[in-house]
Structure 1
Amino acid sequence: MSRKHRQFKGAEVSCCVKYFLFGFNIVFWLLGAAFLGIGLWAWAEKGVLSNLSSITDLGGFDPVWLFIVVGGVMFILGFAGCIGALRENTLLLKFFSVFLGLIFFLELTAGILAFVFKDWIKDQLNFFINNNVKAYRDDIDLQNLIDFAQEYWSCCGAHGPDDWNLNIYFNCTDRNPSRERCGVPFSCCIKDPAEDVINTQCGYDVRQHVELDRQRFIYTKGCVGQFEKWLQDNLIIVAGVFVGIALLQIFGICLAQNLVSDIRAVKANWTPENSEIRSHGQQQQKKKTKQGKMSPF
């Protein structure tokens, strides 16, 4: 067969995969930008951005870190996947796949370690809560997080109300001049359905009462035990959420790798011979066009 009759049929990039991956990632990119924006706005409101050294001054956990870290990771991944798919950039797509695969591996490892070292995780959770109990009044976001946890799980402290003795405002020592001395935060109080307004002083002096009297006013169970109970009661839902996240990550990796393979196949077909065929075809087309213009009919 002569060269002029040869037809070139090369590999093509799947538009379905390309634009599905683009849409899949643009959602994460925008969500990541929103999370990151909320985190930076919260830090700006607290004056952290104008004094970066204050990041390390907080004794407890700053919830804003969740928005910053999660938002930053989602923003970077979404950007790499979105632009990589749209521009068919194999470098960005490889970065997206490797980064997402690394996150999946870390999540899997953390899940296995948490299952194997249950007691150690429980001790760390206890230490984490007590450490944040000490810093309860140091940061408004931390304070709101602890109040939400105690109200949601109907608990008080890590193991009980006496854990609030670790906080300088709530401890029962005679040297404590605080009005909250020997008390607990209002989030430990058992809510009265008839009250429309929250009584923020309901926990004052409550730990001066004996155990039986306390039970009438505040939650006496610790948050570690209540969290474990909640986890057991909602194990199927929690497991379903984690499995869903894992499947999304695997799906994203597969889409990116599929697109990379398509791009490589297209590049592999771009050989000198194929380039010559394309050039020859273009020249023939130009000649036909030129002849058509020159013809009087």
Structure 2
Amino acid sequence: MNRSCITFLKRWMVFMHLLCWTSGAFVQAFGIFGMFKSQYGSIINTFKPHYASNCLIVTGAIVCCVCYLGILGSLRENHCMLISFYIVLFLLMLVELAMACIFLVVDREIDRYFEDDFLRALDTYRQSSDTGNLTLKEEFHYIQATFKCCGVHGPSDWNGHPQISCCIEDPCNMFPIIPWEEGCFGPLRSWFKMNFLSIGAGVVSQAIIQALCICFSCIIMCNFRMTGRGYM
């Protein structure tokens, strides 16, 4: 193996570790995305997907920091530093896959408790005073205005008194209010499922990229170690 080939392989190894760092940044971004998409906490509170999002943010940040260890080990040809990097990154990959599985499982299990939470929130809204449960009320109005829907299953959920956020006109200047006919249960459930599925798939794909980076880097490092050309 001539020197130019050895130099190319070492640079390629550094590039793979930079790719690992990039994948860690993407995992962190998926966690931030999931945290912002796990809104409506006052309405849907049986499961707490933002816990998994927070874990992804922390894990992605640690991956980014640990990848500097791999980059530095590649540049300094430090075998001990690289082995430590691979072990830590492998453990973090397991955490990422576990969090991705949570999002994918939640996507399949939403129907089991989603409707109950929504109906419970509606009852709480109707029983609240004008100044009570303001956060829940704001979220309800936001959902109805955003998804152009009314109530959980339809405007009849409001017992003949639909909220102004149900009005089909914007701004609403009519009375009685003409509400949207569709309930919010279907659109909101589809919205949750789509986001959880995309986050889970994205994290899995980044974990696969990290695994490929580790495999290629280990092959190069082992080759150099056996031939005595570096990474000892």
Alignment-mate amino acid for residue 184 of structure 2: C
Pick closer, same or farther for the CA change 1:101–1:15 going to 2, 3 Å.
Answer: farther
- Contact persistence 1:85–1:259 (CA under 8 A): no
Pick closer, same or farther for the CA change 1:22–1:74 going to 2, 3 Å.
Answer: same
| CA deviations over 1:233-276 (Å, ceiling 9, x no partner) | xx8x9978865654333122211232233334434455xxx99x
The aligned residue for residue 87 of structure 1 is: 73
Residue 225 in structure 1 maps to residue 186 in structure 2: yes
Structure number having the greater helix percentage:
2
The aligned residue for residue 100 of structure 2 is: 107
Structure 1: tracts of 5 or more residues without a match: 1-6, 40-57, 166-171, 173-181, 207-212, 276-297
Pick closer, same or farther for the CA change 1:69–1:245 going to 2, 3 Å.
Answer: closer
Pick closer, same or farther for the CA change 1:64–1:245 going to 2, 3 Å.
Answer: closer
The aligned residue for residue 282 of structure 1 is: none
| CA deviations over 1:154-208 (Å, ceiling 9, x no partner) | 223433356579xxxxxx9xxxxxxxxx653x5433242xx4xxx6xx89xx9xx
The aligned residue for residue 18 of structure 2 is: 22
- Contact persistence 1:28–1:74 (CA under 8 A): yes
- Contact persistence 1:100–1:249 (CA under 8 A): yes
The aligned residue for residue 122 of structure 1 is: 111
Tell me how far apart the structure 2 counterparts of residues 110 and 30 of structure 1 sit (CA, whole Å): 16
- Contact persistence 2:17–2:213 (CA under 8 A): yes
Alignment-mate amino acid for residue 18 of structure 1: V
Matches within 5 A, 1:37-56: none
> Which of 149, 173, 187 does residue 155 from structure 1 map onto?
149
| CA deviations over 1:108-158 (Å, ceiling 9, x no partner) | 58647855xxxx531322134345557776575x76655444333222343
- Contact persistence 1:159–1:222 (CA under 8 A): yes
Tell me how far apart the structure 1 counterparts of residues 83 and 187 of structure 2 sit (CA, whole Å): 48
Tell me how far apart the structure 2 counterparts of residues 227 and 261 of structure 1 sit (CA, whole Å): 47
Tell me how far apart the structure 1 counterparts of residues 168 and 61 of structure 2 sit (CA, whole Å): 41
Alignment RMSD (CA, Å): 5.1
Matches within 5 A, 1:28-39: 28-29=24-25, 32=28
**Number of matched residues?**
204
Tell me how far apart the structure 2 counterparts of residues 238 and 63 of structure 1 sit (CA, whole Å): 9
Pick closer, same or farther for the CA change 1:188–1:82 going to 2, 3 Å.
Answer: farther
- Contact persistence 1:32–1:71 (CA under 8 A): yes
Structure 2: tracts of 5 or more residues without a match: 36-41, 75-81, 126-131
* Highest RCO, 1 vs 2 (Cα 8 Å, sep ≥ 6): 2
Tell me how far apart the structure 2 counterparts of residues 243 and 259 of structure 1 sit (CA, whole Å): 24
Pick closer, same or farther for the CA change 1:110–1:191 going to 2, 3 Å.
Answer: same
The aligned residue for residue 78 of structure 1 is: 64
- SS of equivalent to 1:94: helix
* Structure with bigger gyration radius: 1
Tell me how far apart the structure 2 counterparts of residues 139 and 151 of structure 1 sit (CA, whole Å): 16
Tell me how far apart the structure 1 counterparts of residues 57 and 142 of structure 2 sit (CA, whole Å): 22
> Which of 227, 236, 247 does residue 205 from structure 2 map onto?
247
Tell me how far apart the structure 2 counterparts of residues 241 and 123 of structure 1 sit (CA, whole Å): 20
Pick closer, same or farther for the CA change 1:60–1:98 going to 2, 3 Å.
Answer: same
| CA deviations over 1:67-109 (Å, ceiling 9, x no partner) | 6444223212332334334434332333323432453366358
Could you state the TM-score of these two structures normalised by the residue count of structure 2?
0.56
| CA deviations over 1:23-43 (Å, ceiling 9, x no partner) | 55257449839x77xx8xxxx
- Contact persistence 1:25–1:78 (CA under 8 A): yes
Pick closer, same or farther for the CA change 1:151–1:90 going to 2, 3 Å.
Answer: farther
Identity within the alignment, %: 14
Tell me how far apart the structure 2 counterparts of residues 83 and 153 of structure 1 sit (CA, whole Å): 46
